[in-house]
């Protein structure tokens, strides 16, 4: 499902333009200063004031009672499902959702739960499809205990779930006794793109988390929020999974800095993604999915070069991208400038021209008909 070239293969030039993912961001000098100055304590003992204030801040931002600081978003997803579900239960989620496609089967391995995959365009399923997938409770089939959405939908091209769809899914879930979980890895991208607050998008969702190591530019960390009782149980799993930390305020300070300085600027990433998509769409044979946030998915097969070959050729020029679900994915972030977008577009055009010209020169001359 995922193809990316080797980052540091001998003989390849240094990476100058990193479009592989928004996880590739590096903490800025100002963020590092904030980390160095952080007041710290033992996070596992509840004695780190910077972690505590971050959790309180995110809980308020999302409209929840409490929150917990985690090393990663994947741990947020895993711990949340382990609290919501019991072995043998069933989660309903889109078939390309991160917890289905990119977490190594953790939910089955740790929780003994299965996922009922739902389909739909752009990484999203329709509320009515969700309703149709629900079954009457019987002892012959798994209990359906949780529905999960991913905002934004990564493999759906960074698509934004509409607020009306989120509200409809919550209504259906509550009417049928299911808990609700939002993988909010790029929730703030969705908020910036739509102007809708994180609190409004998270309303009705029993658990929701934010990732700080993507477009927000922190080196690591995510915060999972929910009711106080839910977070108490998440802490039990955090301990079991090895997620409890010590002087984690150094990392939480980076997250505070990100909330202070790197949220509104996500609009710049969205603008760069639109510029990249617009430029690619002008190249004959390239099929581009119009971006809603900071991801541009496109295919160069129609232009005469397979996606994997294009990614490899870009890497030879110091530009890093990947193939996901059969399409090239490029991801803009705070370390990608408008000038880098222009250089990437020029490189794609030159690579395609170089690939097509030899084929044209080596093809046999057309035959003339004889009358």
Q: Is the pLDDT of residue 140 over 50?
A: yes
Per-residue pLDDT, 367: 32
Per-residue pLDDT, 1: 55
Domains 2-24+265-360 and 38-261 belong to one CATH topology: no
- Tens digits of residue pLDDT in 91-115: 999 999 999 999 999 999 999 999 9
- Tens digits of residue pLDDT in 1-52: 577 776 677 889 999 999 999 999 999 999 999 999 999 999 999 999 999 9
- Tens digits of residue pLDDT in 156-211: 999 999 999 999 999 999 999 999 999 999 999 999 999 999 999 999 999 999 99
CATH architecture of 38-261: 3-Layer(aba) Sandwich (3.40)
User: Which runs of E-coded beta strand occur in the chain?
Assistant: 2-3, 17-18, 66-70, 90-94, 114-118, 144-150, 179-183, 207-211, 222-226, 287-288, 295-299, 319-320, 322-324, 327-331
Sheet holding 90-94, edge to edge: 66-70, 222-226, 207-211, 179-183, 144-150, 90-94, 114-118
CA distances from residue 241 to 71, 109, 118, 245, 249 in whole angstroms, order as listed:
11, 12, 28, 11, 20
User: Could you please report the per-residue DSSP string of 279-323?
Assistant: HHHTSTT-EEPPPSSSEEEEE-GGGTS-HHHHHHHHHTTTEE-EE
Per-residue pLDDT, 9: 78
Query: Rounded mean pLDDT of the chain?
Result: 94
- How many angstroms separate the CA atoms of 44 and 62, rounded? 23
- Tens digits of residue pLDDT in 226-285: 999 999 999 999 999 999 999 999 999 999 999 999 999 999 999 999 999 999 999 999
Nearest by Cα to 79 from 227, 231, 198, 182: 231
Sheet holding 322-324, edge to edge: 2-3, 322-324, 327-331, 295-299, 287-288
Per-residue pLDDT, 368: 30
Per-residue pLDDT, 233: 98
- How many angstroms separate the CA atoms of 77 and 110, rounded? 12
- How many angstroms separate the CA atoms of 272 and 164, rounded? 27
- Tens digits of residue pLDDT in 342-356: 999 999 999 999 987
Which helix (H) or strand (E) is 1 found in, with range? none
Per-residue pLDDT, 4: 75
- Tens digits of residue pLDDT in 118-133: 999 999 999 999 999 9
pTM given for the model: 0.94
Sequence-distant (≥ 6) Cβ neighbours of residue 26 within 8 angstroms: 217, 219, 335
Domain ranges in the chain?
2-24+265-360, 38-261
How many CB atoms are closer than 10 A to CB 318? 15
Q: Is the pLDDT of residue 308 over 80?
A: yes
Question: Which CATH fold topology does 2-24+265-360 show?
Answer: 3.90.1150
- How many angstroms separate the CA atoms of 210 and 61, rounded? 10
What is the length of the chain? Answer: 371
Residue owning tokens 């004695």:
47
- Tens digits of residue pLDDT in 289-306: 999 999 999 999 999 999
Per-residue pLDDT, 279: 98
- Band (361; pLDDT cuts 50, 70, 90): very low
């Amino acid at each position: 499902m995922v193809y990316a070239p080797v980052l540091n293969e001998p003989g390849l030039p240094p990476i100058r333009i990193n479009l592989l993912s928004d996880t590739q961001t590096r903490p800025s000098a100002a963020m590092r200063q904030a980390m160095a100055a952080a007041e710290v304590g033992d996070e596992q003992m509840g004695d780190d004031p910077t972690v505590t204030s971050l959790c309180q801040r995110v809980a308020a931002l999302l409209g929840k009672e409490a929150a917990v600081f985690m090393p990663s978003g994947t741990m947020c997803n895993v711990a949340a499902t382990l609290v919501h579900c019991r072995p043998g239960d069933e989660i309903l989620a889109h078939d390309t959702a991160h917890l289905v496609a990119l977490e190594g089967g953790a939910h089955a391995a740790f929780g003994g739960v299965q996922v009922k995959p739902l389909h739909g365009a752009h990484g999203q399923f329709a509320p009515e499809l969700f309703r149709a997938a629900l079954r009457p409770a019987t002892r012959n089939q798994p209990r359906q205990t949780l529905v999960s959405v991913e905002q934004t939908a990564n493999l759906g091209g960074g698509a934004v779930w509409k607020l009306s769809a989120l509200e409809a899914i919550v209504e259906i879930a509550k009417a049928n006794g299911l808990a609700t979980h939002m993988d909010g890895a790029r929730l703030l991208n969705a908020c910036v793109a739509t102007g809708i607050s994180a609190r409004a998008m998270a309303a009705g969702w029993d658990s929701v988390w934010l990732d700080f190591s993507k477009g927000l530019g922190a080196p690591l960390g995510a915060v999972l929020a929910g009711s106080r009782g839910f977070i108490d149980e998440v802490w039990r799993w955090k301990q079991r999974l090895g997620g409890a930390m010590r002087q984690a305020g150094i990392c939480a300070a980076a997250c505070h800095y990100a909330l202070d300085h790197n949220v509104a600027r996500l609009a710049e990433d969205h603008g760069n993604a639109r510029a990249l998509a617009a430029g690619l769409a002008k190249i004959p044979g390239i099929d581009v999915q119009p971006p809603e946030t900071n991801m541009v998915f496109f295919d160069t097969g129609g232009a005469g070069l397979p996606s994997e070959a294009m990614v490899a050729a870009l890497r030879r020029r110091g530009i890093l991208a990947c193939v996901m679900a059969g399409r090239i994915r490029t991801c803009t972030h705070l370390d990608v400038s408008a000038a880098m977008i222009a250089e990437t577009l020029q490189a794609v055009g030159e690579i395609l021209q170089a690939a097509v010209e030899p084929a044209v020169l080596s093809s046999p001359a057309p035959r003339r008909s004889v009358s």
